Homo-oligomer: A and B are copies of this chain.
Amino acid sequence: MQRTQLDHTSPIPLYYQLKEIFKAKIDRGEWSPGQLIPTENDLISFYKVSRTTVREAVNALVIEGKLEKKQGKGTTVCREKMEEKLGRLTGFAEEMQSRGLVPGARVIETKEVVPPDVVREKLLPGNNETKVLYIQRIRLANEEPIAIERSYWPLEIGALFKDYDLSTIAFYSVLEERGIRLRYADENISAIATKKSDAALLGIETKIPLMRMERISYSTQGNPVEFTITDYRSDRYMYKVRLQR
């Protein structure tokens, strides 16, 4: 086919032209998934280029995950790869909904407090004596207790919540409505033994440990927005994350 030939007069590198030709063949299905593509020697003589050029084109597609090479066997077209859903920053409600569960909350306590040192350091770097808003809730999925959530918010952030029902509020949605957009959050995850009081709140036995998630969220301006400690029952909850190499 004329249109799949190389243009030696073009300023576009030959290996790049070749790579695009190969990619088109894959997309059109001319080279189909699982099938062996022509050998390096075939490609060299057909396109009249050197081995280096063929290998540069093929290797670029290997890095893109479209081709797979096996020494001694040959090069095959990769079977389609699974979708990549990344570890996104979401709230409890959003997460439960994505798992097909109905999220809920039962409020235990709300008050302004002088935060523990470890919280103040992260949430109010610089400031010393300021109070913060403290909210303790039981988080529910399909009416069942799943976690104990203790969150700390700078007062100017907490003020945004005062017109909302804390048993149904989705904090992150309220923040976005008010123009505070989250950029990222750092999380520390560990396991802890279950205290009798927490076991009672969750309706479990103390022999079931808790998974503790500490989260500090930052706005797009780089300011800390929230410090939250959530203790999940390990018999009902698993934390999922995808890591990139």
Contacts and interface: CB of A to CB of B under 8 A. Distances in A.
Interface string A227-245: 0000010100111111111
A198 to B, nearest CB: 13
A102 interface: no
Interface in A181-199: 181-193
Contact of A62 (B62, B185, B220, B239): B220
Given A63-B220, A89-B243, A220-B65, A207 B193 contact: yes
Interface of A: 52, 62-63, 65, 68, 78-79, 81-84, 86-89, 181-193, 207-212, 220-222, 232, 234, 237-245
B78 A221 contact: yes
Given A82-B222, A185-B245, A191-B212, 20 more contacts: A62-B221, A63-B220, A65-B183, A78-B222, A84-B184, A181-B245, A182-B245, A183-B245, A185-B242, A186-B240, A186-B241, A186-B242, A188-B238, A188-B239, A188-B240, A189-B241, A190-B237, A190-B239, A193-B208, A209-B234
A243 B185 contact: yes
Given A220-B62, A220-B65, A222-B81, A86 B186 contact: yes
A147 to B, nearest CB: 12
A83 to B, nearest CB: 8
A23 to B, nearest CB: 15
Q: Which 5 A-B pairs have the closest CB atoms?
A: A209-B209, A191-B191, A191-B234, A89-B243, A81-B222
